[in-house]
């Protein structure tokens, strides 16, 4: 005889295995002098609560604000015109999920935490007219100029099961000390070479004829929003399914 309760029984068995993803979010502000080196934001790790939940993804949203002052000075013997040279400046950010001196905590599991680049700042094709060196190094005379650059933008990066090292790095109990900084690159080229005397292998300021480029002020501020996506641990869902099956057998 056909048991008309069977479809309902199957539903009772299967339903507990359906899980709904949940999220946890935190926002960490930052504001630092890039010239002074990296900073160490402290974030809350993802806690599995004793294996009761599993991290399936993590999203990092970086809101960047950059403010740069560039100082260009000539120690050359002749004047040069705007457009005779070009300077391209790039700052590439890096974010590392842990410190290399022990990972998340003393004696931690990793001395090689994962890192990624969440954006870059550019000041491109900088040029200007400069008089011959006035003999006073570092002053704001006709042989030098200052330029200010700024930019604001957002970068979002998502990691899931295809990036197990990232998920493992943020999974722990308690807090995780991260590293946020980067490195800069300055590219210079002559468009119209003034043919000044060539400096030595290691040019000396201000004795050698050259253009000198520095960044007296360089600030990076904003915030990082981290969103954890998680579900109950598969073993937990399996236990619920087993309980449903046991209850079904008892009713029979």
Per-residue pLDDT tens for 185-218? 999 999 999 999 999 889 999 999 999 999 999 9
Residue 191 is assigned to a structural domain of this protein:
yes
What pLDDT does 1 receive? Answer: 45
Over the chain, what HEC string results?
CCCCCHHHHHHHHHHHHCCCCEEEEEEEEEEEEHHHCCECCEEECECCCCCCEEEEEEEEEEEEEEEEEEEEEECCCCCECCCCEEEEEEEEEEEECCECCCECCCCCCCCCCCEECCCEEEEEEECCCECCCCCCCCCCCCCEEEEEEEEEEEEEEEEECCCHHHHHHHECCCEEECEEEEEEEEEEEECCCCCCCCCCCCCCCCCCCCEEEEEEEEEEEEEEEEEEEEEECHHHHHHHHHHHHHHHHHHC
Q: Is residue 20 part of a domain?
A: no
> Does a structural domain hold residue 3?
no
pLDDT at 96: 98
Look at the block and give the residue holding tokens 């970086």. 62
Position 187 in a domain: yes
Q: Is the pTM of this model over 0.95?
A: no
pLDDT for 71? 98
Residue reference for tokens 């990691």: 159
From first to last of its 252 residues, the chain has per-residue pLDDT tens of 445 544 544 444 444 556 688 999 999 999 999 999 999 999 999 999 999 999 999 999 999 999 999 999 999 999 999 999 999 999 999 999 999 875 444 444 557 899 999 999 999 999 999 999 999 999 999 999 999 999 999 999 999 999 999 999 999 999 999 999 999 999 999 999 999 999 988 999 999 999 999 999 999 999 999 999 999 976 555 554 444 444 444 445
Question: Is 61 domain-assigned?
Answer: yes
pLDDT at 89: 98
**Tokens in use for 245?**
């099956």
Give the relative orientation of helices 234-251 and 6-14 as an angle to the nearest 10 degrees: 150
In a domain, 1, yes or no: no
Domain count, the chain: 1
What is the per-residue pLDDT for 233? 77
**pLDDT at residue number 210:** 97
pLDDT score for 16: 53
* Residue 13 belongs to a domain: no
| 203 part of a folded domain | yes
Boundaries of domain holding 92: 26-251
Backbone angles phi, psi at 14, to 5 degrees: -85, -35
């Amino acid at each position: 005889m056909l048991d008309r309760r069977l479809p309902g029984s199957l539903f009772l068995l299967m339903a507990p295995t359906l899980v709904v993803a949940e999220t946890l979010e935190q926002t960490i502000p930052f504001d630092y002098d890039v010239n002074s080196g990296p900073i160490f934001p402290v974030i809350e790790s993802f806690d599995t609560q004793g294996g009761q939940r599993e991290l399936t993804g993590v999203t990092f949203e970086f809101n960047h604000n950059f403010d740069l002052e560039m100082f260009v000075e000539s120690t050359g013997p002749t004047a040069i015109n705007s457009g005779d040279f070009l300077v391209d400046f790039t700052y590439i950010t890096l974010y590392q999920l842990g410190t290399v001196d022990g990972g998340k905590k003393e004696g931690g599991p990793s001395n090689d935490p994962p890192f990624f680049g969440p954006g870059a700042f550019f000041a491109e094709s900088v040029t200007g007219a400069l008089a011959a060196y006035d003999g006073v190094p570092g002053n704001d005379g006709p042989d030098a100029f200052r330029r200010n650059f700024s930019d604001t933008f957002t970068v979002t990066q998502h990691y899931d099961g295809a990036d197990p090292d990232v998920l493992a790095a943020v999974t722990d109990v308690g807090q995780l000390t991260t590293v946020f900084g980067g490195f800069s690159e300055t590219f210079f080229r002559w468009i119209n070479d003034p043919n000044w005397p060539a400096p030595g292998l290691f040019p000396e300021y201000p004795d050698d004829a050259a253009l000198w480029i520095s960044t007296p002020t360089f600030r990076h501020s904003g915030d990082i929003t981290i969103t954890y996506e998680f579900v109950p641990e598969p073993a937990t869902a399996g236990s619920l399914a087993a309980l449903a099956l046991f209850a079904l057998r008892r009713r029979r």
